[in-house]
Structure 1
Amino acid sequence: MSVLTRVATHQAARDEFFRSLRVLAGAPWELSRTVPGRLGRLATFLPSNNLLYSYVLFGVVPSLYTDRVLIRPSARVAETAMAVHEILGPAVREWGGNIDMRRVSQREFLDECALSDAVVFTGQPDNAEHVARRLPRESLLLSFGSGPNPVVLGPDSDLDTVCRTVLDARLYNSGQDCLCSDIVFVHRSIAHEVTSRLADSLRTVAVADRRDPRTRVSALVYPDAVADADSFLTEHREFVVVGGGTDVARNIVEPTLLHMPWNGSFHPPEFFSPVLLTMEYEDPAQIVEWLHTPEERERGMYVSTFGEPGLSGPRIATSTVCENQITFDVEDGNRPFGGHGPRAGNVRRSGEIQARPLLLSAEAARAGRGPVVRPRP
């Protein structure tokens, strides 16, 4: 926990710890279900957040069916990632796993990727294109991107529940997670009450030490996220309800609420900060149309719906529908992750690109490399 809280709030690190345990407990079941082929070498670009959880997902579990797992930590958090590896690496080696984490340049690691059977990339979709160009045609490449993960609060919402849920969906690790919701659509009939409650709640959220178990929002780890939030808030100052302050020198973004009228052409950025944006809607057809726009079809990941009978799943356009659940409720490291938007996640092999929810062991099974793996006891 002392290592994880270098880059995550104590609350988020604790959640990540138990999610990681759950993935490990579910690994035998996962491999019995997916039956992956044997991989000789896997190369993984570790993300800059959720370091323990990502190490388990893309290192520990794949080492059960991979001869050698190579991991490159993000330069932003390399020291912390290496500390996680120093704690867990010896335990992995004890039962025969082989995980090699290296602090190397991206160019050097791309050379390793070109020699690997499979590559996991976590980051900006445009950077995934650069990685793909460096790989042999037959390589298996899984690209994990991100999406806006909108939440829809319909007229039948339970206000106490949804307001707590929205704050959980936005403030997880100070908003520094790809599963955080970047926009909340609120039905006109409850918009005033919802925004009032959210504003009151955010006024009580202080920016504090991330190591304190009571802290929900701390100084951000990524200076560019602070700069991006500052630019957005400056441009949209008229919509700020509460908060809106930033301190670039100290990497601080105040817990902020903005409320906007309906604008079907607006597509939120990935805030990666404690910025909560609500937008008023009147008819669920507006949400459906918005999710079908080219921009949102490209990055469709999840859409969470509460109290809105006009929206139902399992999919709307390329977004996976979560009824009465936020993204953190449905995420399961032993099952496919994400939606069907190409920029949210895709798999490439032999010149083909397919966007779909991703699970590495399932894609290794589809690739059909080597003998079938039987899960270890």
Structure 2
Amino acid sequence: MPIATVDPATGETVEKFAPHDEVELERRIAMAHAAAAELGGTPFARRAEWMTSAADLLEADLDGAAAMLVTEMGKPIGQAEAEVRKCARTMRFYAEHAEEFLAEEPLRAPAAVGARRASTVYRPLGVVLAVMPWNYPLWQVIRFAAPALMAGNTGLLKHASNVPRAALYLDTLFERGGFPCGSFTTLLIAAAQVDAVVRDPRVRAVTLTGSEPAGRAVAAAAGASIKKTVLELGGSDPFLVMPTADVAAAAATAVRARVQNNGQSCVAAKRFIVHTEVYDEFAELFTRGMAELVVGDPRDRRTDVGPLATESGRRDVAELVDDAVAKGAEVLTGGSVPAGPGFFYPPTVLAGLTPEMRIVQEETFGPVASLYRATDRDDALRIANQTDFGLSSAVWTGDDDEADWFAERLEAGAVFVNGMTASYPELPFGGMKVSGYGRELSAAGIREFCNLTTIWRG
């Protein structure tokens, strides 16, 4: 796949980029390796100054950075601005809390063997490779980079080939903030070259957000080299609505939950599982809300849903819908590729889904919602857990006991009750089953790429 910026709203190639050759690739890995020793020995207070300065620079670049996100992946301008601000907030969050999260922790010393004191400390690993996707070109990277750098690690970024401008922007951001040269470095390389970088002995750990096949490949290479990995591999998140829920609020939130980021979010609600007592009411409100969304130019602030990021991505979504319709699914709204330039696809709601349809098991990465009728809460739970994914979930109910019942049984990394699933720097983020393993964000995220060292004093 060429490294190029293609405007999804028009399909036109804006700019092409030459990949780094082997000499440049080696230079960049060597820079990151050399910087690891310096950064790991830098006090937290100094790292915090640099991280805060980088956050200030990012906010000062708000207009340009947001416009870049719109051009590279079609994100509506308001959402692009929100992504930039969220990144800056997360950078400040780790600047403020990294030292606390990684502080030495005293342990009960085993007196029988003569110990006076015991404790654990978190030490940086060194160079961490990040293989990142295009759907949140800044946010996906920052939620790794901010904790990794604050822990004293250095970062190598292999970004998606269709967001090179974002990758190159990030290549300079942290050094502009004051971090030592080589602390964070972008690699403009092909996917086929990732395996060799993972296996390079100077790389100590790997994090990947992307597809299940990509995760398996990276995990295999890292496993062969005995290296730590964190994988976030997408989801097909359930959104459950029970009879005691505020159905109107649930339906309104469901629309936002499905089409955030033009429907291209791993943690977006994708399967809407509604108790039969409120199914008709929810289906009517939800379908109307989806049908009323404005699809158009992502630079226009009146637009709710912009184009999908790539032509192949739109083709994948259309094929899933066409397969379901051919096998008997009912289209409540949308469901067909529009004429004209760009990679647009309309907000779509499908009902009458059956197990032989691909969309029942596969992730739908676009503004397409699957609507299910559940006979009772056991049936709702069965439908929710029937996929191989387990990233996040949402439950709408007015019964706290029922909310607890679902929270104990849903196979997911998170359960949001009466709200929309989202990622926050304060909360751990990650999944189970084929949605991956490990956690990003919060204290858990910064500790993933540290060595937990036990210190025993006799």
Give the shorter-chain TM-score range. 0.7 to 0.9
Instruction: State the alpha-carbon separation in 1 of the partners of residues 181 and 165 from structure 2.
Output: 25
Give the conservation status (yes or no) of the 8 Å contact 1:40–1:66: yes
Cα gap change, 1:157/1:107 in structure 2, threshold over 3 Å: closer, same or farther? same
Cα deviation, residue 364, structure 1: 2.5
Instruction: State the alpha-carbon separation in 2 of the partners of residues 31 and 168 from structure 1.
Output: 36
Give the conservation status (yes or no) of the 8 Å contact 2:396–2:417: yes
Q: Which residue of 1 aligns with 2:436?
A: 345
Q: Which residue of 2 aligns with 1:250?
A: 342
Q: In the alignment, which of 54, 64, 69 is matched to residue 155 of structure 2?
A: 69
Instruction: State the alpha-carbon separation in 2 of the partners of residues 261 and 271 from structure 1.
Output: 14
Q: Which residue of 1 aligns with 2:70?
A: 5
Q: Would you say 1:288 and 2:381 are equivalent positions?
A: yes
Q: In the alignment, which of 314, 317, 322 is matched to residue 226 of structure 1?
A: 314
Cα deviation, residue 233, structure 1: 2.1
Report the 3-state secondary structure (helix = DSSP H, G, I; strand = E; otherwise coil) of the residue aligned with 2:369: strand
Q: Which residue of 2 aligns with 1:127?
A: 214
Cα gap change, 1:84/1:3 in structure 2, threshold over 3 Å: closer, same or farther? farther
Q: In the alignment, which of 22, 32, 42 is matched to residue 100 of structure 2?
A: 32
**Count, aligned residues:** 355
Give the conservation status (yes or no) of the 8 Å contact 1:284–1:308: no
TM-score by length of 1: 0.85
Q: In the alignment, which of 57, 64, 86 is matched to residue 19 of structure 1?
A: 86
- Which moves more between the two structures, 258-267 or 17-26? 258-267
Instruction: State the alpha-carbon separation in 2 of the partners of residues 69 and 184 from structure 1.
Output: 38
TM-score by length of 2: 0.71
Amino acid at match of 1:21: A
Give the conservation status (yes or no) of the 8 Å contact 2:307–2:344: yes
Cα deviation, residue 281, structure 1: 0.9
Structure 2 gap segments, 5+ residues each: 1-65, 104-121
Instruction: State the alpha-carbon separation in 1 of the partners of residues 447 and 292 from structure 2.
Output: 44
For residues 84-122 of structure 1, what are the alpha-carbon distances to aligned partners after superposition, in whole Å with 9 as ceiling and x for unaligned? 444x24434457771011101234333222221111111
Q: Which residue of 2 aligns with 1:361?
A: 446
For residues 133-186 of structure 1, what are the alpha-carbon distances to aligned partners after superposition, in whole Å with 9 as ceiling and x for unaligned? 323443111111111111001111212211111011101011011111111011
Amino acid at match of 1:123: G
Instruction: State the alpha-carbon separation in 1 of the partners of residues 174 and 67 from structure 2.
Output: 17
- Give the 5 Å matches for 1:233-312: 233-237=321-325, 238-247=329-338, 250-260=342-352, 267-293=360-386, 296=387, 298-307=388-397, 309=399, 310-312=402-404
Q: CA RMSD in A?
A: 2.7
- Which moves more between the two structures, 4-13 or 29-38? 29-38
Cα deviation, residue 322, structure 1: 1.6
Cα deviation, residue 308, structure 1: 6.3
Report the 3-state secondary structure (helix = DSSP H, G, I; strand = E; otherwise coil) of the residue aligned with 1:51: coil
Give the conservation status (yes or no) of the 8 Å contact 1:302–1:327: yes
Report the 3-state secondary structure (helix = DSSP H, G, I; strand = E; otherwise coil) of the residue aligned with 1:147: coil
% identical aligned pairs: 19
Instruction: State the alpha-carbon separation in 1 of the partners of residues 285 and 409 from structure 2.
Output: 29
Give the conservation status (yes or no) of the 8 Å contact 1:176–1:272: yes
Instruction: State the alpha-carbon separation in 2 of the partners of residues 221 and 156 from structure 1.
Output: 38
Q: Which residue of 1 aligns with 2:113?
A: none
Give the conservation status (yes or no) of the 8 Å contact 1:38–1:369: no
